[in-house]
Amino acid sequence: MSYDLNQRLVVGVTPSALFDVSESNRIFVEQGIDGYRKYQDEHLNDPLPRGVTFPFVQRLLALNDLQPDDPLVEVFVLAKDDAMTGLRVMKSFAHYGLDVKRAVFTEGTTPYRYIDALNICLFLSGSAADARAAAEEGYPAGQVLGHTALDLDDEGDAGALRVAIDFDGVAADDSAERIYRQSNLALYLEHERDNASTPLGSGPMKRFLVALGRIQQAELAKHQESGDYKPRVRLALVTARQAPAHERAVETLRSWNVQVNDAFFLGNVRKADVLEVLRPHIYFDDQMSHLEPARGVVASVLVPYGVANAITDQIVGTSSKPSETTPEPTQKP
Task: List active site positions.
Answer: 166
Cα 124 to Cα 53: distance, rounded to the nearest angstrom: 9
Neighbours of 331 (CB within 10 A): 24
- Contact, 3 vs 113, CB < 8 A? no
Estimate to the nearest angstrom the gap between the alpha carbon of 50 and the chain centroid: 17
One-letter amino acid for residue 311 of the chain: I
Strands, sheet with 9-13, edge to edge from the N-terminal-most edge strand: 102-105, 73-79, 9-13, 122-125, 141-144, 300-302, 282-285, 161-165, 233-239, 262-265
Half-sphere exposure of 97 (CA within 13 A, CB side): 4
What 8-state DSSP symbol labels residue 316? H
Alpha helices of 97-174 — where are they, by DSSP H?
128-136
Pairwise CA distance, residues 240 & 264, whole Å: 8
Local structure of residue 158 (DSSP, 8 states): T
> How do beta strands 233-239 and 161-165 pair?
parallel
